[in-house]
Amino acid sequence: MGKREKTKAENRQSILDAARIVFAELGYGETTVRDIIRRTGLASGTFYNYFKSKEEVFQALMDASALRMRPRIRAERIRAGTFEQFVSGTFKAYFDYLAQDEAMHRVMRRNSGSIRVRMDTPEVVAGFDEMRQDIERAISQGVLPNVDPDYLTASFVGIAFEVGDRMLARLPFDPAEAAEFSTKLFLGGVTALPLVAQGK
């Protein structure tokens, strides 16, 4: 790598770093491109050598985040011998990822005023799409009964998102607990759920 490319890569990275911090501080809506470049020390024009817009940095950020998540989830799926292991592994991988990447997740929840906001980027969505293909494959292979794969994936995603969100409201984060709950519910419904200890 020549010196030229190194600086290029460094600049790109410092923009991404600055963006992550600023998005976390101000939320997506309130952040301006100027806020980001100001933080890098680079000139305003330089930003446009690397990204076309605020949205593009944001997506790059999200994608980088999702990029860290997808291989883990995929690995879990591959390792899984049974459908239960597949479900449980996927939930666990997602909640683990969430717990580690909490700051990024908070960005997606950040808002100004009293309106709660949540954002999903294509890469995140793609991660779940991949799972949907797995589910469809499972159905066609007879591993799963012939249920509605679209709704099933949607349900999985919905549970993951919302339970994940609640998990981040509890300290310390307990991804294992969240994964156990989600898996039990997803596989066996309410009646299969783990009981809460009395004292809790």
Partner DNA sequence: AATGAATGAGCGTTCATTCAT
Partner DNA sequence: AATGAATGAACGCTCATTCAT
Judged by CB under 7 A, which of 13, 25, 29, 34 binds DNA? Answer: 34
- The torsion region of residue 41 among left (phi > 0), alpha (psi -120 to 50) and beta comes to left
Rounded to a whole number of angstroms, the minimum distance from the CB of residue 36 to DNA is 8
Q: Is 115 in the site for DNA (CB under 7 A)?
A: no
Scan residues 42-81 and list those touching DNA (CB under 7 A): 42-50, 52-54
| Interacting span for DNA (CB under 7 A) from 4-12, 92-100, 119-127, 190-198 | 4-12
129: its two tokens: 């799409």
Return the biggest CA–CA distance within the chain.
63
Sign of the four-CA dihedral 19, 22, 28, 31? negative
Rounded to a whole number of angstroms, the minimum distance from the CB of residue 115 to DNA is 15
Q: Is 112 in the site for DNA (CB under 7 A)?
A: no
Q: Is 85 in the site for DNA (CB under 7 A)?
A: no
- Applying CB under 8 A, the residues found at the interface with a second copy are 28-29, 55, 58-59, 83, 87, 113-122, 125, 144-148, 150-152, 154-155, 157-163, 165-166, 178, 181-182, 184-196, 198
Buried/exposed 94-130: b ≥16 CB within 10 Å, e otherwise: bbbbbbebeebbebbebeeeeeeeeeebebbeebbee
Residue type, 107: V
